[in-house]
Structure 1
Amino acid sequence: MSILRKRLIDFEETLNDEKIDLITLRRLCFHGIPDEGGLRSKCWKLLLNYLPLTKQDWPDVLKRKRNLYNTFIEDLIVMPGETAMNGERVDVTMHDHPLNSNPGSKWQTFFKDNEVLLQIDKDVRRLCPDVSFFQQGTDYPCKAIVDVNGPKRLHCRVQHTVLRSANVERKGLGVTKIAVSVRKATEDYAPLAEGGEAHWEVLERILFIYAKLNPGQGYVQGMNEIVGPIYHAFACDPDASWREHAEADTFFCFTNLMGEIRDFFIKSLDEAEFGINAMMTKLCKQVKTNDHEIWLRLQQQDLCPQYYSFRWLTLLLSQEFPLPDVMRIWDSLFADEKRFSFLIHICCAMILLLRNQLLSNDFATNVKLLQNFPSMDIQIVLSKAATLAGKTLNTP
């Protein structure tokens, strides 16, 4: 029996139990989830606390959550000055107008929404420019949106812009900035014709609804990089009954994940126990412990972790590796019981694997090297990280 076949059987047996053993599931997922059979889709839903461990509860939970998401679409993605009555849209702007300064004005809400939507639209259109998936059409467009009588589609509210991929970095006192790189999209991120939706349009809706439901945090650049791999895993599930609800399932899994890493995206929480500065400090300490010479070299060059690891940690390495590698990395990250201690081990491994270059290069070259991590077999990186964590990583 091949190793892959043995692993598939182990996953299937674990997922078929009426009461799923989370410890066993985490152990299996840590070593990587096979691409076959939609295993990643189900495992991530479990590891991100969307699906309960008792299988008989799945149908009720999924039905309730998916219906709730449909309610969000109905309630939150509407044009100002319109309301639904008996299935028809009617004008209710008699006492409202675009210049109304009243905080309760639907027009004021509309204009504020558009400021957020403009950034979301730009970000989702340039997501993973080297992968055509997000520009392709989904088999399950939202009927309430694409139907000719439905609410206006979100992308219609913003202007079409020239799109390029981008990197997220800290900018002074602000939250983030976008440093545009030279990579350009190989496909056209144009909206599909009426009746259809591209996958990036679905992500735009997910992020917009998330921002509306979380006004204290809102949308922050980089969230598109977090939601993208989750949606890709769910939208590629070979089981149509799961694939059909990829949007709703992605929304709740993304929301749960953001609940764990939200401190990374809020500058006022940088110094919190799980804030981004604390994470970067842990990374520096681990580098110092495992290779004092490299740590000293970075110190001598004043090569602060903010120059490179802010993006690594905030976006869970989603911009440093190709999408398939990111998904493999996330198998281990989501399986991490201490979430996200293994992320620190991976980042440390990335630095240690560049030892020779870092010791011989000057400051400018090292900054460029760390900001543009060279192509490398992801299994090498993960094996090194597992060693740092005192674990052994099984090769597929």
Structure 2
Amino acid sequence: MSGDGNKKQFWRRGAAKVPGSIQHVYGAQHPPFDPLLHANLIRAGNKPQLTPVKPKKATSFQEFESITSDAWDVGDEDDELLAMAAQNLNIEVVMETANKVIENHSKLQGKQAVPLQEDELVEKEQEVPAPDEEHPESGPHGDGRLVKSFSEAPIGSPREVAGERAGLHRQQSLPHRPVIPLVARMADQNTSGTPAMTEREASRLDKFRQVLAGPNTDLEELRKLSWSGIPRQVRPITWKLLSGYLPANAERRESTLQRKRQEYFGFIEQYYDSRNDEHHQDTYRQIHIDIPRMSPESLVLQPGVTEIFERILFIWAIRHPASGYVQGINDLVTPFFVVYVFEYIEEEVENFDVSSLREEALRNIEADSFWCMSKLLDGIQDNYTFAQPGIQRKVKALEELVSRIDETVHRHMQQFEVEYLQFAFRWMNNLLMRELPLRCTIRLWDTYQAEPEGFSHFHLYVCAAFLVHWRKEVLEEKDFQGLMILLQNLPTMHWGNEEVSVLLAEAYRLKFAFADAPNHYKR
């Protein structure tokens, strides 16, 4: 296939087209579904590899799935190693140890406490690694994330806890397989309902509560605190304040919520039945088609949630005829919806049946998500109007910025005739939601809402930092096909708080260097 043919193929498959007439943006695809993050796709028969092996680069979902190893499963190799080790054991020692285990287990079953002797405690401390005290907020590949997957396990005896820690230590020595639901593994350490916070987390939460407790919230101080991430417990109220949905005056908040929620459901009564009218049926049909394609999150695919999203998007579309519904807007509901569900529950969202919430809570979540999404879109509506001029300007600005901060990457893209519009259109259209896990998007939006013009202006610098972050991988690709496959499927599925924080810090540095002197990145 010729180079031009390859480029046309990838344009059709991955990059949304820029309309030359009034035409909605279709074709922005989500990165390949990640079987690592969904246990129901794990196949039980695979054997593990004893040592981590650098995976072969996947160029399609089928290849990606076929090279995925089930590192958590116990296979024949482990059994053989155990059998070899057993041949060298003294049988008397084995029997004595086995009897002790049985005796201790029986006592535990009878709820008889078995105190450890002092020498046993020392031995246990040597056998079982303690939590990482130097890094209590370890990033997405460290202790913090693995421990969270056991947050709902019952608290057992000291011996049982030691056994769990030893198991966790063994798991961490294997190739990493996340075992926490995708939505629940939020970037912030307080997001998935962990039972205990570090001292630093507790201190940050206390600072937020002090700012929020006053009769008039200091929004400037709240923004400063929020830039580095918002604790789960106060994220719903903080997002509502920073988006401008709620007033800073505490006494007016309840009446404002009641009025805005009633107003939204008034729109539902007035307009929603028109979804099947000839004038609106195309819009509603496209929304109905797009929602199941949005994300692999089971939460979004629940029937009750699908209906909520359809109502939110349809009402927004008919109240904004200058743009109407454009694919990409549908993604922007999800972070608000997930954060506002957390206002009513403590368990993991991924496994939570949203329909089990009280009807009043569901109505509140729906209305709040609608208004906050509307506030966001008010600042970037030129992204979705005729010919989408906002996106075209931002993609052009991204190209100019990258050419100044990393000329090597820019020239590499030019060499293989990769147009920024072919991959960065989606980055601007979907605010990187198709490139990052949802937990990272929520953390990113903490900063976007704290940053002046975060969604419209600061996002440009985040995209520039995001592209340059993959500098090594980009330069390793030596043809158009390879570059497009990489840029449309960047390996961020295991990203968490640490990676997002580094990305934001670099984006802020770029903004500081270029925002007030735009000629710095113009030739």
CA distance in structure 2 between the partners assigned to 1:381 and 1:292 by the alignment: 24
Matching residue of 1:232: 338
Mark the CA change 1:279 to 1:370 in structure 2 (over 3 Å): closer, same or farther: same
Distance in 1 (alpha carbons) for counterparts of 2:307 and 2:383: 26
TM-score, normalization by structure 2 = 0.54
Contact kept, 8 Å, 2:313 with 2:330, in 1: the verdict is yes
3-state SS of paired residue (1:306): helix
Instruction: Give the equivalent residue in structure 1 for 2:218.
Output: 21
Which residue of the other structure, out of 120, 126, 136, is the alignment partner of 2:287? 120
Q: Which residue of 1 aligns with 2:269?
A: 74
Q: What is residue 49 of structure 1 aligned with on the other side?
A: 244
Q: Does 1:133 align with 2:330?
A: no
The offset of 1:79, in angstroms, is 6.2
1:361 aligns with 2:467: no
Alpha-carbon offset, residue 341 of structure 1? 2.8
2:464 is the counterpart of 1:371: no
Question: Residue 89 of structure 1 aligns with which residue?
Answer: none
1:391/1:40 CA distance change after superposition, 3 Å: farther
Which one is further off, 340-349 or 240-249? 240-249
CA contact (8 A) 2:244 2:375 kept: yes
User: For each residue in 1:169-226, what CA deviation from the matched residue of structure 2 results, as whole angstroms up to 9, or x when unmatched?
Assistant: xxxxxxxxxxxxxxxxxxxxxx4xxxxxx11111101111112222222111111101
Task: Answer whether contact 1:76 1:209 (CA < 8 A) is retained.
Answer: yes
Secondary structure (helix, strand or coil) at the match of 1:318 reads coil
Q: Does 1:246 align with 2:365?
A: yes
- Deviation of 1:267 (Å): 3.6
SS in structure 2 of the partner of residue 215 of structure 1: coil
Partner deviation per Cα, 1:309-364 (whole Å, 9 max, x = no partner):
11111111111111111111111112111323321222112211211121221222
What are the within-5 Å matches in structure 2 for residues 221-370 of structure 1?
221-238=327-344, 244-270=363-389, 275-339=390-454, 340-362=456-478, 363-370=480-487
> Using a 3 Å threshold, how does the CA distance of structure 1 residues 385 and 235 change in structure 2: closer, same or farther?
closer
Tell me how far apart the structure 1 counterparts of residues 322 and 274 of structure 2 sit (CA, whole Å).
Answer: 22
Counterpart code for 1:279: K
Contact kept? 1:318, 1:326, Cα under 8 Å = yes
Question: What SS does the corresponding residue of 1:370 show, helix, strand or coil?
Answer: helix
Residue type matched to 2:239 in 1? W
Identify the residue that residue 228 of structure 2 maps to in structure 1: 31
Deviation at 1:382, TM superposition (A): 3.5
Alignment of 1:81-100 (within 5 A): none
CA shift at 1:385, angstroms?
A: 3.6
Does structure 1 residue 61 correspond to structure 2 residue 256? Answer: yes
Sequence identity, in percent? 31
Indicate if the aligned counterparts of 1:30 and 1:332 stay in contact, CA closer than 8 A. Answer: yes
Map residues 145-294 of structure 1 onto 2, 5 A cutoff: 191=303, 198-238=304-344, 244-270=363-389, 275-294=390-409
When the two structures are aligned, how many residues end up with a matched partner?
A: 297
CA distance in 2, matches of 1:371, 1:269: 21
Indicate if the aligned counterparts of 1:280 and 1:305 stay in contact, CA closer than 8 A.
yes
List per-residue Cα deviations over 1:146-171 (Å, max 9, x = no partner).
xxxxxxxxxxxxxxxxxxxxxxxxxx
The letter for the 2-side match of 1:119 is: Q
Name which of structure 1's ranges 364-373 and 278-287 shifts more when overlaid on structure 2. Answer: 278-287
Q: 1:26 to 1:79 in 2, by over 3 A?
A: closer
284-293 vs 205-214, greater mean Cα deviation = 284-293
Q: Which amino acid aligns with 1:292?
A: E
Match of 2:499 in 1: 380
Contact 2:461 2:510 in 1 (8 A): no
Gaps of 5+ in 1: 81-108, 137-190, 192-197
User: Which stretches of structure 1, 4 residues or more, deviate above 6 A after TM superposition?
Assistant: 239-242
SS in 2 for 1:218: coil
- 1:302 deviates by 2.1
Residue 40 of structure 1 is aligned with which of 224, 230, 235? 235
- 1:386–1:23 Cα change, 3 Å: same
SS in 2 for 1:389: helix
User: Could you say which structure has the higher strand fraction?
Assistant: 1
Taking structure 1 as the reference length, the TM-score comes to 0.70
* Higher mean C-alpha displacement, 361-370 vs 375-384: 375-384
- Decide which structure has the larger Cα Rg and report it: 2
Whichever residue aligns with residue 217 of structure 1, its letter is S
Matched-pair contact (CA < 8 Å) for 2:437–2:495: no
Return the offset for 1:381: 4.3
Root mean square deviation, CA, Å: 2.2
Unaligned 5+ residue runs, structure 2?
Answer: 1-197, 346-357, 512-523
Which residue does 1:389 correspond to in 2?
508
SS at match of 2:280: helix
